[in-house]
Amino acid sequence: MTPARLARLLSACAGCVVAAALAAAPGAARAWEPTAPIELVVPAGTGGGADQMARLIQALVARHKLAPQPINVVNKAGDSGVEGLMVVKAARGDPHKLVITLSNLFTAPLAEGVDFAWSDITPVQMLALDQFVLWVNARSPHRSGQDLFDAMRRAPPGTLRLGGTGSKQEDQLIAVLLETATSTRLQYVPLKGGGDVARALAAGSVDMTVNNPIEAEALWRAGTLRPLCVLDGKPLAYAAKITGTQAWADLPTCMSFGVPVQYLMMRGIFTTPGATPAQVTYYNQLLDRVRALPEWQEFMARGAFNPTTMGGERFRGWLDKAASFHRVLMREARFKAAGPAASAPTAGAVR
């Protein structure tokens, strides 16, 4: 055997040994991926921001063949969304169940007196923060935030109706903050979901709403609704025109009219308790691919989302702070199912 042939043989054998060793190594297991259809739970009604985002994720994963299994969206809005949260909590060890969360992750269990905390399920990724905009019907005499806030201060308490999603949730919390800031009382009208809220304003059944941008954008574009101001500390970033004359970036902040109310809502994905790091990694990578698509970027712009994303320990830290904030806010608004009465709330923001 020539030295060259021996070298080739040893090289080939060394490769075989390395390959065999890798195959036998316990840490070299194949990366996890779903082996059954993935259920994406929406703890809210149809047509709202969470539902629209969930169905977009479902469609993009299917269209671009991003996963070996389909995603099925299931709405479980009972008990202000607690139904959906508890379904995911109860599915310990089932890696084929996800939930898209909003701030009712914090508010609904407190309002319903249910034993549930965000840490009962497994965080995967924050997808974005969602804005709130103060809306009126396009036929309303109130053409600016200043007009509406002046009307709120002048009107007899309980005269003006604010429609919102559910009771003792984000929309009603914002209603209480607006009442505090304008020293008045609103008539809060609870509705099933963000889509119902926008349609109620279009029909004139309520006088104002605090819909998320994506929930009312189509009716603004159609000339049916009018946005007055954004409930954030700074204007929205999107300069593309929604109507012939206005873009999201043209909306002033409600704070610029002397009403110091700002509130942002999380849009995030969690999975069941007991999920393994490999399963969380898989879903994080899947969501990263979804967010990189142009269709997702268009959705972010159309809905004027704050495209803040995070995962891992940073996300957990944010969730801890948000939970503490909502405990205080729910207590101050007297929306907790049990606990001592407290004074009226002050305005604040979740970042």
Determine the pLDDT at residue 30.
Answer: 60
**CA–CA separation, 160 and 317 (whole Å):** 39
Query: For the chain, how big is the Rg over CA atoms in Å?
Result: 24
The per-residue pLDDT for 350 is: 38
> What 3-state DSSP class applies to 8?
helix
- Predicted local distance difference test score (pLDDT) of residue 48: 87
Low-confidence ranges of the chain (pLDDT < 50): 1-29, 339-351
- Note the pLDDT of residue 74: 97
Beta strands in 97-243 (DSSP E): 97-101, 122-130, 133-137, 161-165, 187-191, 208-209, 225-230
* SS3 of residue 226 by DSSP: strand
Residue 159 identity (one-letter amino acid): T
Predicted confidence (pLDDT) per residue in 46-101, tens digit = 888 999 999 999 999 999 999 999 999 999 988 888 999 999 999 999 999 999 99
Please give the sequence-ordered ranges of beta strands (E in DSSP) within the chain, or none if there are none: 38-42, 71-75, 97-101, 122-130, 133-137, 161-165, 187-191, 208-209, 225-230, 265-271
SS3 17: helix
